[in-house]
Structure 1
Amino acid sequence: MPHDRKIITRALLSVSDKSGLIGFASALAQRGIALISTGGTHKALVEAGLAAKDVAEVTQFPEMMDGRVKTLHPAIHGGILAVRGNPEHQAAMLAHGISTIDLVVVNLYPFEETVARGGSFDDCIENIDIGGPAMIRAAAKNHADVAVIVDPADYEALLAELAANGGATTLPLRRRLAQKAYARTAAYDAAVSNWFAGIEGIGTPDFRAIGGRRALDLRYGENPHQQAAFYATPEQRPGVSTARQLQGKQLSFNNINDTDAAYEAVAEFDPQRTAAVVIVKHANPCGVAEGDSLAEAYEKALRCDSVSAFGGVVALNRTLDAEAAQRIVSIFTEVIIAPDATEEAIAIVAGKKNLRLLLAGGLPDPRGGGLAVRTVAGGFLAQTRDNAVVDDMDLRVVTRRVPTEAELADLRFAFRVAKHVKSNAIVYARDGATVGIGAGQMSRVDSSRIAAWKAQEAATAAGATESFAKGSVVASDAFFPFADGLLAAAEAGATAVIQPGGSIRDDEVIRAADDAGLAMVFTGHRHFRH
């Protein structure tokens, strides 16, 4: 037998997730592999009629302290860590009566699940595994001699390898399993450390770890030459990670990015107050509206930029109904995401076999916490999510003219949308709908001009005689550094402005607004989105 192949004679099994355990352990036993196990795992094996030795029999030391101390013993770790070809290690094993352990099968206490279900502090602490990670890391370190499994999904691969190699594992498999083992303990420790940081209110800890589990293989990333996968983190935030895909092609990298952008934006609108629809293209909203029904909101959102909406992502804040579904499928759409859908709506969408329908089960909380992360060369930036909501802001009127109630409602609407538009962002809105959006320009005045042009284009497409920007309000994600951007909005026909304020030229901008007869309010909150 090649020297890199290692026969398994003794296996240690200690698992929280017992799916597939009995079948796997039975297959090992049939090969004459001796089984060692702990606590609940040992009980499950014995009840299934399998011969398994309890860890306490191996260590000659009872479990204590509610099971906290059971595998942390030289008889266990010596058997895992001993280098089989090292004479000194072999002599130490012989002197202390330690037998080798060739396979370690461990999955960890359900810490992430305990946090997700809202477990108490003490409950979460008790679900931090200690012995499990220690055994996993020991086995992975000694992968030249020991195989380690942290995921029931790998049982079949190991059994197939034993069958193909006369009861032995190969080095390539052991290395692959070791890599996965270290990744699992890293993600586990990341979950624990980030939970602790949240509990203690530490926004910028000295060390920040990010961990997740691959939820979806992707054909490629933003472009075909880039490798990509979607990883789910322990954070249980409704969206793509929680959604059931009822139909359609596999999601792509760009689909997921756009769908997340759309769903976070539509969550700004309370479904108890209004129906809302967001249409996104290339991570930017190209149409947003609210209405008495989803169908009405969709038509208003589509009118903003029907050209860009072609091949876009549609997000809804209420259960997708048949009327809305019928209208959405009338043009080519990549993804629909909603909290839920009626059976009639699902049947309508089914007529478009490539259209992805995602049901997220709920809406994300726009005021919720969590991290936003972006990589840079040599590191990553981490910040808390932008959870500022315009309804919570103290709007300050800074012009002589005070906005009307209708203008004020549209100003709040426009600022909700501007939060989700790439900076520099300018949003024109009227009657609870966007009518022109300018995104991602290096100059704020250019964003304002683009948004005004979009409003004119939308009006022309609808057969209107004047720009939709006439009589609209305008929102800016950040302050106007000069009056030119604001004056461009006035020239387009806007009557009221909402912006954060805070520029050294605020007085100049306020005077320009007064001269143009505009009403303007400051929010005191900026919404940069790069």
Structure 2
Amino acid sequence: MQECPLKYGCNPNQNPARLDRADGGELPFTVVNGNPGYINFLDALNSWQLVRELDEATGMPAAASFKHVSPTSAALGLPLPDTLKRACFVEDVDGLDDSPLASAYARARGTDRLSSFGDWAALSRPVDAATARLLRREVSDGVIAPDYSEEALAILCEKKNGKYNVVSIDASYVPNPLESKEVFGIRFTQKRNDCRFSPETLGDIVTQEKDLPSTAKRDLLVALLTLKYTQSNSVCFAVDGQAIGVGAGQQSRIHCTRLAGDKADTWRLRQSERVLSLPFRSDLTRAARDNVIDQYLHDYEEDVTAEGRWQLYFTSRPLPFTKEERAAYLRQEARLSLASDAFFPFADNILRAAQSGVRYIAQPGGSTRDDAVREQADACGMTMVFTHQRLFHH
């Protein structure tokens, strides 16, 4: 296939729309089911690169959940603790414990469930039935993977009344080293960002604290590779083999850090017993529960626990989760990792990271204020690595 017609462009009025290779060669993917659009394929091709590189860097199955050309999360196929299963609403998924790939997607999808609603999924290895069953139950636009088992494909092709987008990609495909795009009739050409990360690239520790365990290196790799395919500016928090807070597309880096930190805080709070024990009504969908949890964890003029409202969501009136209680929960040791796609220009980013339990940092370095940033990291007892590799993505 040398040309792939698309449902439409960024918006329904932008027709015609199609994909083809700049060098005129065969496209490296097959649309197995559905009719993906322009944004679907932007998500698919970016997310595929992310999970492939995560798999290569760690040797573990990887998954990503993408929305509007940025990952909501990316994760490795590590087993899920029971509390995380409950927080991700996957404790009842058949075969989850036996499928590292399904575990990876459960983590990626479950990190920021509000943002992942209607996502595009990417999987680094052939999709099995357990992963397909997990995808089938979520609101999702499509999936890209190198292959699908016969049972998995049958499950996915039933989704959305047979219209779910399923794309198979050639895992051996290597693109041209030069890439280009057009804006307003002007063509931009550049060398592809083919930088690679491994544990060995995390050797330039610039802080007084030098402790960088293998688990922290793994989490920093997850964060760095997530940022490589996130719209800049961007900052990513990670722990336990998954990105737990992505701050994307902000003009100010401190706003990236605050956004990512707030998401990481929410991910942690979702695993608190206060949230896990919320008495939801049985007819409330998972998506509706996500919205209610978000309101429960943030300040609104009229909280979901207020008199006259709680009956809409709960079988009994839950206790409020006060600011003080949430702050106390978040003060528990977390040992999170954080990466930034460009240098931190001010130490305020380090202070905000510390508030969310960050212990390990990777950033390019190169700011005129590197010394001030390093001093703040030292004051917070953090280990900070300079990668000397900027990761802007547009």
Give the counterpart letter for 1:354 in structure 2: K
Residues 347, 373 of structure 2: 8 Å contact kept: yes
Partner of 1:521: 385
Give the counterpart letter for 1:223 in structure 2: N
The question of 1:393 aligning with 2:201 is answered yes
The equivalent position to 2:50 in structure 1, one of 251, 256, 265, is 265
CA distance in 1, matches of 2:4, 2:353: 44
Residues 74, 222 of structure 2: 8 Å contact kept: no
Residues 77, 104 of structure 2: 8 Å contact kept: yes
The question of 1:360 aligning with 2:169 is answered yes
Give the counterpart letter for 2:122 in structure 1: A
The question of 1:415 aligning with 2:203 is answered no
The equivalent position to 1:256 in structure 2, one of 41, 48, 61, is 41
The question of 1:274 aligning with 2:60 is answered yes
Residues 267, 364 of structure 1: 8 Å contact kept: no
Query: How far off is 1:310 after superposition?
Result: 1.5
Give the counterpart letter for 2:6 in structure 1: L
Query: How far off is 1:378 after superposition?
Result: 5.5
Structure 1 379/469 Cα, relative in aligned 2: closer, same or farther at 3 Å?
farther
SS in structure 2 at match of 1:445: helix
Deviations 1:5-47 (A, max 9, x none): xxxxxxxxxxxxxxxxxxxxxxxxxxxxxxxxxxxxxxxxxxx
CA distance in 1, matches of 2:173, 2:273: 37
Residues 202, 217 of structure 2: 8 Å contact kept: no
Partner of 1:332: 139
CA distance in 2, matches of 1:322, 1:462: 27
SS in structure 1 at match of 2:54: coil
**Which piece of structure 1 moves more, 356-365 or 414-423?**
356-365
Query: How far off is 1:456 after superposition?
Result: 2.1
Partner of 1:479: 343
Partner of 1:348: 155
Q: Where does 1:503-514 land on structure 2 (aligned, <5 Å)?
A: 503-514=367-378
CA distance in 2, matches of 1:359, 1:228: 23
Query: How far off is 1:393 after superposition?
Result: 3.2
Give the alignment's TM-score, normalised by structure 2: 0.74
The equivalent position to 1:374 in structure 2, one of 165, 173, 181, is 181
The question of 1:383 aligning with 2:226 is answered no
Give the counterpart letter for 2:353 in structure 1: A
The question of 1:448 aligning with 2:312 is answered no
CA distance in 2, matches of 1:377, 1:234: 18
Query: How far off is 1:363 after superposition?
Result: 5.3
SS in structure 1 at match of 2:358: coil
Query: How far off is 1:496 after superposition?
Result: 0.7
The question of 1:231 aligning with 2:22 is answered no
Query: How far off is 1:351 after superposition?
Result: 2.0
Query: How far off is 1:484 after superposition?
Result: 1.0
Deviations 1:291-315 (A, max 9, x none): 1510111111122111221211000
Query: How far off is 1:464 after superposition?
Result: 5.5
Partner of 1:307: 114
Deviations 1:341-392 (A, max 9, x none): 1111111112211211111131555xx6522323244622210110101127
Residues 435, 469 of structure 1: 8 Å contact kept: no
Give the counterpart letter for 1:385 in structure 2: R
Structure 1 517/275 Cα, relative in aligned 2: closer, same or farther at 3 Å?
same
Q: Where does 1:164-203 land on structure 2 (aligned, <5 Å)?
A: none
Query: How far off is 1:235 after superposition?
Result: 5.2
SS in structure 1 at match of 2:255: helix
Q: Extract unaligned runs of 5+ from structure 2.
A: 79-99, 275-328
SS in structure 1 at match of 2:137: coil
Give the counterpart letter for 1:256 in structure 2: F
The question of 1:245 aligning with 2:31 is answered yes
Partner of 2:268: 459
Structure 1 309/505 Cα, relative in aligned 2: closer, same or farther at 3 Å?
same
Residues 6, 19 of structure 2: 8 Å contact kept: no
Partner of 1:288: 74
Deviations 1:493-512 (A, max 9, x none): 11110000111111111001
The question of 1:432 aligning with 2:241 is answered yes
Partner of 1:216: 4
SS in structure 2 at match of 1:497: strand
CA distance in 1, matches of 2:218, 2:270: 26
Partner of 2:283: none
Structure 1 484/379 Cα, relative in aligned 2: closer, same or farther at 3 Å?
same
> Quick one: higher RCO (CA 8 Å, sep 6+), 1 or 2?
2
**Which piece of structure 1 moves more, 377-386 or 309-318?**
377-386
Residues 239, 337 of structure 2: 8 Å contact kept: yes
Residues 107, 242 of structure 2: 8 Å contact kept: yes
Residues 7, 36 of structure 2: 8 Å contact kept: no
Structure 1 325/237 Cα, relative in aligned 2: closer, same or farther at 3 Å?
farther
Query: How far off is 1:243 after superposition?
Result: 1.8
CA distance in 2, matches of 1:226, 1:245: 21
CA distance in 2, matches of 1:305, 1:257: 20
Give the counterpart letter for 1:345 in structure 2: A
Give the alignment's TM-score, normalised by structure 1: 0.56
Structure 1 243/290 Cα, relative in aligned 2: closer, same or farther at 3 Å?
same
CA distance in 2, matches of 1:234, 1:445: 38
**Which piece of structure 1 moves more, 338-347 or 466-475?**
466-475
CA distance in 2, matches of 1:383, 1:359: 27
> In percent, how many aligned pairs have the same letter?
33
Partner of 1:316: 123
CA distance in 1, matches of 2:20, 2:262: 40
CA distance in 1, matches of 2:24, 2:173: 9
CA distance in 2, matches of 1:469, 1:279: 27
Q: Extract unaligned runs of 5+ from structure 1.
A: 1-212
Structure 1 469/411 Cα, relative in aligned 2: closer, same or farther at 3 Å?
farther
Give the counterpart letter for 1:262 in structure 2: S
SS in structure 1 at match of 2:42: helix
Report the number of matched residues: 313
CA distance in 1, matches of 2:238, 2:256: 14
Give the RMSD, CA atoms, in angstroms: 2.4
